[in-house]
Amino acid sequence: MDIKLKIKNEKVKIFAAIKLIINRLKASPRLIAGIIVIIALLITVSAQYRIRERIFKKPSEKTVKGMMSKETESLKEPVLVKVYKTQRQNFEDKLPLLGTLQGFKEIDLKFETNGILDSFNFKEGERIEKGAVIAMLNQKDALLKLRYNEIEMEKIQKLFEMGAVSKSKLEQANVEMESAKREVDKTCIYAPTSGALGAKDAEIGEFVTSNDRIGTLIDDKGVFIELGIIQKDVGKVKIGQNGKVIIDTYPDKEFDGVIDAISPVIEGKSRTQNAKLKLDNPGGLLLPGMFARASVIVYSATGVIVIPNTAVDKTDKGYVAYVVKKAAEQNPKPKAKSPKPKDKKAKEEENVEEESVQEDTVEARPITAGYRSADFFVVDSGLGEGEQVVVETQEKLQDGSKIIVTDVQEAIF
């Protein structure tokens, strides 16, 4: 039964009782006092029904959620964070690689004719200039043949001048003499380029043929490092990229190089791509076989904003950085036209109140990448110079999260 209907019924009963009591008032004064008590009790009961209706009325779901949200928000504490202050700077991404130095050219030294090795004019590792005679066969037979043809040439030349022989006979004698000279040249090996003598494969007095290699000439003006690029880095290395090389033999010296060739296939069980980093070799300091540490510059830019990868959050819609929004910037204090003078105590109380109310927050700012390395993110758009981005936090942030900045970094590398 409805509460109001109950109250109405109670009132009817009360009025009936009052009427009955009035008819008997004259009979007993004590009865009057009892009636007054009963009326007071009935009024109290009626008031209690109304109070309970208001107190125990079920609140709406929206009201409950609003109350819980406000309570949760008031209990949430600011998050401690470390931030980085952005600035424009030059950036290079270097890919570290290892390799072994090899001669840019390794030329096999062979004679054009057969014979006995008569001399080796250089020692292993010795410098050789272009055109120098490296080795020589026994020339006795070749020189005799040359001398014979020179004498024949002189005799026919005189006969031709006297008209005793034809011009064709003179030309034939000249060809035979040139052929004899060529036979003498075949007994020598001339250096086709400057370099260093490698290992010798024959000894003086040994009979060699035109198929036998007697040694190697290494063109050490330019050497190269053969590098193995793992599969995930294949797309980063391109012909023409610059590199820096450090050799253990010269730890305080850095050599410049350039990617000169790249294999078109992934080779071997290691799934690596071979690339050649060509180096200049001033003074012949670099020797084939030396171990080398190389770093190839795969990306470079000037005047760009770079942030650590720890400052970037990957979402379904793209990259996001959490930018600090200062409380003073969010709620600037209005300028008073005619400020009233305040005593020291009032000012201190006002400052304490403002500090307790104003808190820094973060903005989830969408950003785009110009380039991303293993450790750094080059920002193409979304961030300006001098802004503070969160790089380290105790818990996951959201747009509008309250924060307390514990440290500001102004350099990341």
pLDDT tens column, 30-69:
656 666 667 766 666 566 556 555 555 555 555 545 555 5
Q: Mean pLDDT throughout 284-290?
A: 82
Question: Looking at residue 91, what is its pLDDT?
Answer: 94
- Local confidence band at 332 (pLDDT 50, 70, 90 cut-offs): low
The dihedral of CA 262, 369, 318, 392: what is its sign? positive
Q: Mean pLDDT throughout 278-298?
A: 85
Question: Looking at residue 74, what is its pLDDT?
Answer: 44
Q: Mean pLDDT throughout 338-346?
A: 57
Q: Mean pLDDT throughout 306-321?
A: 92
- Local confidence band at 411 (pLDDT 50, 70, 90 cut-offs): confident
pLDDT greater than 70 at residue 330: no
Residue 101 bridge partners (DSSP): 225
What does the pLDDT look like over 163-221, one tens digit per residue?
Answer: 888 888 888 888 999 999 999 999 999 999 888 888 899 999 999 999 999 999 987 77
pLDDT greater than 90 at residue 394: no
Q: What is the pTM of this model?
A: 0.55
Question: Looking at residue 354, what is its pLDDT?
Answer: 47
Residue whose C-alpha is closest to residue 296's, from 91, 92, 101, 103: 92
Query: What's the whole-number average pLDDT of the chain?
Result: 81
pLDDT greater than 50 at residue 355: no
